[in-house]
Structure 1
């Protein structure tokens, strides 16, 4: 047995702000405002003796019916020859249309760095980041291995070779030695670092005419990204040019194989070279990528030694 609602006024599923007449079989085109409801009276012209009261209802709802008719048109639910029980019944309501919204205003792309954010470069192999001071850039067209930053621009080398840079920073993993002491590793590395930077390059040329002498200007323990490291800094004299500074910094790694990390600093000593304080600034700013809030920086125990 088909269960269909009896004839009466029900909420219009296509215009929820109105009521619509259900004749027991299908929706009619008669609509009215809910405020005008006064019981389940049949619409004008469909039987009953509403008399003047029905006429008043018709008059008060004529405007709403006209607007609803224009908006919704002559809409019938289902076909005329289907089972009324399978149609959308008069108790169903349609959700109100979604409000129009203005297009979103342009915004900063998520990929853009927030204004004022400090510039950093990352060494993913060793799991650390370095601050990028003013005057320094990410490496481009650099022949040396493992360079993480250089000073901006190049110049003609004073000795053999084509072009030189006023400063560079190299980050490597110590794999050629079983030694794990940062102090011993830094002291072992500093002569090699000085030779590669200021004595002879990989193809046998001497960009600064060769290394003539050196003096230790700083050495001692240092805290790097919350770990106990050690650094050694030399001032070197070259046959040509103003000479320079080279520093070997070693500290334990917290990623990968756990092999110590070696960071080399090479600075020209001339007036065009980077400020020597940048060595300490960069060291202080080294951070672990897994512990951005870790402590770091040059410890108070560091000072010049003979």
Structure 2
């Protein structure tokens, strides 16, 4: 056509409205060839020496893409350039305006068209730069208003507590007696402990040491005691310590508890006194008037033959010493090397 724009380089308006690059117009459509504006070129220049879409056998010269514009393939929409005769993004119907027609167009008209195009392109570039891509952005979804209603915290149902069983305290042990003094037995070369609440006599008619506790008036008159312990002067016979203790027990028990009707063994066993092995007979007795008590008879070999007798007894009644005190006295007996007696 006689009024078609001839092929040539035409300015591409930049974001600031000035043309920093030129694009090649082949006389019918825009090509992908872009180059910087040539100094002194007046916005027009010679045709490129090679055009890739016209001579596919030859490679087109590499041209840097314009800022904000991609380099689309021939025949496909270009980034920022709508396709000819298609609705343009941000442009009127018909796409990017063709280069000015040579001849018959006044310079003022060309300048006016270029200025309008630059203004439109500036708007498009601003939109593209602000969005980061050419995809239309939907309005952000408004954040729904959430109404928070205070919900009372449910009170946990308290389960009935299981009563903790009260532990049964262990049976109380008898208090350990306190030794306040010792009594010397010169005949047997030993010392006998005297506990708090007990008194002692030495060298009586039958005993080398005699201890007593809890003295009171007997129901029939006279003096009685709740507990006693003694070391006898005379030895007792026997083939063994056990035989000697068992033989001597009935006579001694009957002497301190009158009218014994029965007895039970209360833990007879072997024992040691002042480092010498012997045997202990222990009885729990009952008398005809209902009196009960504990009796102890211990036989330990003597140096001159026979057995030394250690005897004791306590009432099984309120106010009487604990029966365990008799064994505590036995354990507290010590050898006394300073004594000149015959020893056990």
Query: Shorter chain as normaliser: what TM range?
Result: 0.3 to 0.5
- TM-score (normalised: structure 1): 0.47
Instruction: Work out which of the two has the higher radius of gyration on C-alpha atoms and give 1 or 2.
Output: 2
